């Protein structure tokens, strides 16, 4: 069976750096941090009081009225905002395609955490009133509902589900969409991920694990991947959408093609609830699996958008894995962690970082890893590697790899390539 080729024909994004693709990319290239004091709730008593929030989001820009918006958790609102931009960008006319062969595979690492917190709190503060839960509680909360809502908007009757693998979720979604299309099961799939977890229970839960940075005196410099003083990740939120399409289907309608997806890899650390394997076992496996799936050699990769969350263990293990998989070529790569600017979008991270890889190929610019100061080195990290510290670098990028690693030991890597007929 001959596998189909899969291309990306639309992009949409709403992130802590901007409420569309263009603004997000411009901020990333300029090394802008999206971090600031938390506004979603009063965080004054929390160990971490800052995050990378989406700014100036107005649901009425995307929904007909406030009533419709209230039926959705914030994570699903973000998803639909990103998808509307992505679909418009793709130029797909839903009236002329076979909607039975068009699907939605959209991720969330957690789902409707804000809805869960609100509904449970309502009962907890006044149990004497009895259980009064909204009929929308469960439909708003579940992690698949963004995919379901998107399919209803466009009338897509093809494969439709959500993927959940913590911080690897949206790379899993992209790989699933890639597989369904290349196996001939669909022509078009709306894919990506969304997350909105900057709430008391989200920040408090991650704080209790000592996973978050507590650098409250300097939020914009808190996410500092690969620096010696890194002390945890910074929470982010938002959504990114990629429209995936079978090549002949895209060419037949004259679509603009951003890039081709050529491989995806999956693996498990099978090691620890939250920590990555200290020697990067799963990270090595997943990158090798992705390269094998793409039929590429390590030397073919130009740029790696790393998981790079700014945690003491995670950053180190990923560097070890890169050096082992890529050997001497590791020193010829550009490596960057855009989480230094966006924070960690959890279940939406993979989709956003795949978009950054595509924009790097399109523009010949590698977005930086910001916040590294001279002398702030980790003795166990090899700084002969090019981490693209602090300033974007020009480079022709033909092939890029994006890593995501999630709690539970879930690893997913995706490889994107400049499109050539």
Residues that are catalytic: 167, 307, 344
Region label for 130, one of left (φ > 0), alpha (ψ between -120 and 50) or beta (otherwise) = left
Report how far Cα 344 is from the mean position of its chain's Cα atoms: 8
What is the distance between the alpha carbons of residues 49 and 355, in angstroms, rounded to a whole number? 29
- Cβ atoms < 10 Å from Cβ of 7: 24
Beta-bridge partners for 167: 165
Q: Which residues, 6+ apart, have CB-to-CB distance to 342 below 8 Å?
A: 15, 16, 17, 28, 34, 52, 236, 238, 352
| Residue 233 DSSP one-character state | B
Q: Answer for the pair 69, 227: CB distance below 8 angstroms, yes or no.
A: no
What is the distance between the alpha carbons of residues 371 and 226, in angstroms, rounded to a whole number? 10
The DSSP element (H or E) to which 150 belongs, if any, is helix 145-154
Q: 113: exposed, middle or buried (C-beta count within 10 Å: 0-12, 13-18, 19+)?
A: buried
- Cβ atoms < 10 Å from Cβ of 19: 22
How far from 162 is each of 76, 113, 191, 324, CA to CA, in Å?
A: 12, 16, 9, 33
């Amino acid at each position: 069976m001959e596998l189909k080729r899969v291309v990306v024909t639309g992009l949409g994004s709403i992130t802590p750096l901007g409420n569309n693709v263009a603004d997000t990319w411009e901020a990333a290239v300029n090394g802008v941090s999206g971090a600031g004091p938390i506004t979603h709730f009063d965080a004054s008593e929390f160990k971490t009081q800052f995050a990378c929030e989406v700014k100036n989001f107005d649901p009425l820009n995307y929904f007909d009225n406030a009533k419709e918006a209230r039926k959705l958790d914030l994570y699903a609102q973000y998803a639909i905002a990103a998808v509307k931009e992505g679909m418009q960008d793709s130029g797909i006319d839903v009236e002329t395609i076979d909607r039975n062969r068009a699907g939605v595979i959209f991720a969330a690492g957690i789902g409707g955490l804000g809805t869960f917190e609100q509904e449970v709190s309502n009962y907890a503060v006044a149990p004497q009133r009895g259980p009064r839960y909204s009929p929308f509680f469960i439909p708003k909360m579940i992690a698949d509902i963004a995919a379901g809502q998107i399919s209803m908007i466009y009338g897509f009757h093809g494969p439709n589900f959500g993927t959940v693998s913590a911080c690897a979720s949206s790379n899993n979604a992209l790989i699933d969409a890639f597989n369904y299309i290349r196996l001939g099961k669909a022509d078009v799939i709306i894919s990506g991920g969304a997350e909105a977890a900057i709430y008391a229970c989200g920040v408090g839960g991650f704080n209790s694990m000592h996973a978050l940075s507590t650098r409250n005196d300097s939020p914009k410099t808190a996410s500092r991947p690969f620096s010696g003083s890194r002390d945890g990740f910074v929470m982010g939120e938002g959504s990114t959408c990629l429209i995936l399409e079978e090549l002949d289907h895209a060419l037949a309608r004259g679509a603009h093609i951003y890039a081709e997806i050529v491989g995806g890899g999956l693996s498990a650390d099978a090691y620890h609830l939250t920590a990555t394997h200290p020697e990067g076992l799963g990270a090595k496996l997943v990158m090798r699996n992705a390269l094998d799936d793409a039929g590429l050699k390590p030397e073919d990769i130009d740029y790696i958008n790393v998981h790079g969350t700014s945690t003491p263990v995670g950053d180190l293990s990923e560097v070890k894995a890169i050096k082992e998989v890529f050997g001497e070529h590791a020193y010829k790569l550009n490596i960057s962690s855009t989480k230094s600017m966006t924070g960690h979008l959890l279940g939406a991270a993979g989709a956003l970082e795949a978009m950054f890889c595509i924009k790097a190929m399109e523009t010949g610019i590698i977005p930086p890893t910001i916040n590294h100061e001279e002398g702030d080195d980790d003795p166990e990290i090899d700084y002969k590697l090019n981490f693209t510290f602090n300033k974007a670098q020009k480079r022709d990028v033909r092939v890029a790899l994006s890593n995501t690693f999630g709690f539970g030991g879930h690893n997913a890597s995706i490889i994107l390539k400049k499109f050539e007929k």
